[in-house]
Amino acid sequence: MQVRAENLRKQYVGIAALDDVSLTVQPGELVALLGPSGSGKTTLLRTIAGLEAPDSGTVYFNDRDLSDSRIQDRGVGFVFQHYALFKHMRVMDNIAFGLRARSKNKPKESEIKRRVLELLDLVQLSGLERRFPAQLSGGQRQRVALARALAIEPSVLLLDEPFGALDARVRKDLRRWLREIHERTGHTTLFVTHDQEEALELADRVVVMNKGKIEQSATPDEIYDTPATPFVFSFIGESSVIPVQIGNGRATLDERLLDLEIGALPDGPAQLYLRPEDVTMVTDGGPGIPGLVVSTRRIGGMRRVTIECGLARHRIEFDAPAEVPINNSQRLTIRVIGGRVYGSGSEGYETERLAASATSDFKWAKAEGWLDR
């Protein structure tokens, strides 16, 4: 079933939760809605489900306008972050709820039982059908919730932060398992998450949302490699931002020329967005940008180094091999080998900005000649 949302708008006390959002999800596609809290991703999901009514705009399932259809008739399987299981019902009754609630084509009780056992097998919970939700772990509960949603043979499967309440290990297992279920059942699936890793790993297509708008809708590779906006760049993966100047089609940082593709940006101030892998350490004495190490920490097989560069002591993070010893206050030269330049006026994802450290020695900058220029 194809899901199409057209020009959805939804206003909550002065704040636009959905600001003219249009989205098409192809049959059988697994799409992630990714964004920070308050970006409108959950509102979009709930609007598609029919749990919220948009102020304007239309939702279509296969060209069928759903504006006047009730939630009960939409046939959406909805899974909540906190499972929303019926606590007073056993697992089997939870799963059978949707089948028993049918007013027409209600299957026989023996048929319902067969379906329930089949679904329990699918979600790998066979043997637990007589348990109450309180007797299950978080991961098991979420699988029951999914089985319950699948029982009605939904036209669309919608999941709101399905793994948000689970611990990291269970979350990873369930992610892989959801992907398998999706491949086996082929439901058109939309899920909301604020976890970029989850979105990139699980989805065929990632829709990044911010402030009620869609920033980019693309495959995980495209989202990571060619982020359309500074927001997408800074929301996905690790990033450092430093201001640069554009002039004569080149980018410069404190009058040092950077070897970067800048596209068709006008002259003037701009922002350079860097991933840790866009920066390397210069070890052969070649040209580069000098800086002072402020902190290092071990991340897996690499060492994440934070250095301060330039007059305004911009912070850049990059990865150095773990076997190279790097100490705080050490001077290094780095070279920018990648990254993307965005014109000023567009905003990145605001996190708590790392404030320049007050304790680091200022004299080095003078010695390097940065301050006298």
Partner 1 sequence: MTATAPDGARSFRWRRRSVLPGFGLSMGYTIAYLSLIVLIPLAGLGIRSASLGWDQFWKIAFDQRVVSALQLSFGAALIAAIINTVFGVLVAWVLVRYRFPGRRWLDAAVDLPFALPTAVAGIALATLYAPNGPFGMILDDWFGIKVGFTSTGVVMALIFVGLPFVVRTVQPVLEEIDRETEEVAATLGARRWRTVTRVIFPALFPAILTGFALSFARGVGEYGSVIFIASNLPYQSEIAPLLIIIKLEEHNYAGATAIATIMLVISFAMLFVINLLQAWSRKWFGHE
Q: Looking at 64, 88, 130, 297, which residue binds partner 1 (CB under 8 A)?
A: 88
Does 85 help bind partner 1 (rule: CB under 8 A)?
Answer: yes
* Residue 60: burial class (beta carbons within 10 Å; 0-12, 13-18, 19+): middle
Query: What sign for the dihedral angle of Cα 276, 170, 155, 74?
Result: negative
Q: Which of residues 273-332 bind partner 1 (CB under 8 A)?
A: none
For partner 1, which is the closer residue by CB, 76 or 223?
Answer: 76
State which residue, 134 or 355, has the beta carbon closest to partner 1. Answer: 134
Binding flag, residue 90, partner 1 (CB under 8 A): yes
132 is an interface residue for partner 1 by CB under 8 A: yes
Which residue in 14, 63, 68, 103 binds partner 1 (CB under 8 A)?
103
- Confirm or reject binding of residue 97 to partner 1 (CB under 8 A): yes
Residues 272 and 281: beta-carbon distance below 8 Å: no
Under rule CB under 8 A, residue 82 binds partner 1: yes
Buried b (16+ CB within 10 A) or exposed e, 161-178: bbbbbbeeebbeebbeeb
The angle formed by the CA atoms of residues 137, 156 and 174, to the nearest 5 degrees, is 30
User: Which residue number, 138 or 237, has a Cβ lying nearer to partner 1?
Assistant: 138
Find the shortest distance in angstroms from Cβ 106 to partner 1.
10
Single out the residue of 26, 56, 72, 329 in contact with partner 1 (rule: CB under 8 A).
Answer: 72
Q: Is 75 in the site for partner 1 (CB under 8 A)?
A: yes
Site for partner 1 (CB under 8 A): how many residues?
33
Scanning 101-109, 173-181, 246-254, 263-271 for contacts with partner 1 by CB under 8 A, the matching segment is 101-109
Burial 330-365 (b: 16+ CB within 10 A, else e): eebbbbbeebbbbbeeeebbeeeeeeeeeebeeebb
In angstroms, give the least distance from the CB of 268 to partner 1.
Answer: 50
Exposure class string for 205-238: b at 16+ Cβ within 10 A, else e:
bbbbbbbbbbbbbbebeebbeebbbbbbbbbbbe
Binding to partner 1 by residue 84, rule CB under 8 A?
Answer: yes
Which member of 45, 76, 166, 289 binds partner 1 (CB under 8 A)? 76
Q: What is the spatial distance between Cα 85 and Cα 105, in angstroms, rounded to a whole number?
A: 24
Chosen residue from 16, 122, 152, 282 binding partner 1 by CB under 8 A:
152
Q: Which is nearer to partner 1, 89 or 262 (CB)?
A: 89
138 binds partner 1 (CB under 8 A): no
148 counts as binding partner 1 under rule CB under 8 A: yes
Q: Binding partner 1 by CB under 8 A: which of 149, 190, 199, 332? A: 149
Phi, psi of 285, rounded to the nearest 5 degrees: 75, 10
Q: Which is nearer to partner 1, 164 or 237 (CB)?
A: 164
Antiparallel, parallel or unpaired: β 56-61 and 3-12: antiparallel
Of the candidate residues 133, 288, 310, 339, the single one contacting partner 1 (CB under 8 A): 133
Which of 13, 53, 134, 168 touches partner 1 by CB under 8 A? 134
Q: Provide, rounded to whole angstroms, the least separation between the CB of residue 3 and partner 1.
A: 15
String of contacts with partner 1 for each residue 42-71, x by CB under 8 A: -------xxx-------------------x
Q: Which is nearer to partner 1, 3 or 253 (CB)?
A: 3
We find the least distance from the C-beta atom of residue 76 to partner 1, in angstroms, to be 5
Q: Which stretches of the chain bind partner 1, using CB under 8 A?
A: 49-51, 71-78, 80, 82, 84-90, 97-98, 101-103, 132-134, 145, 148-149, 151-152
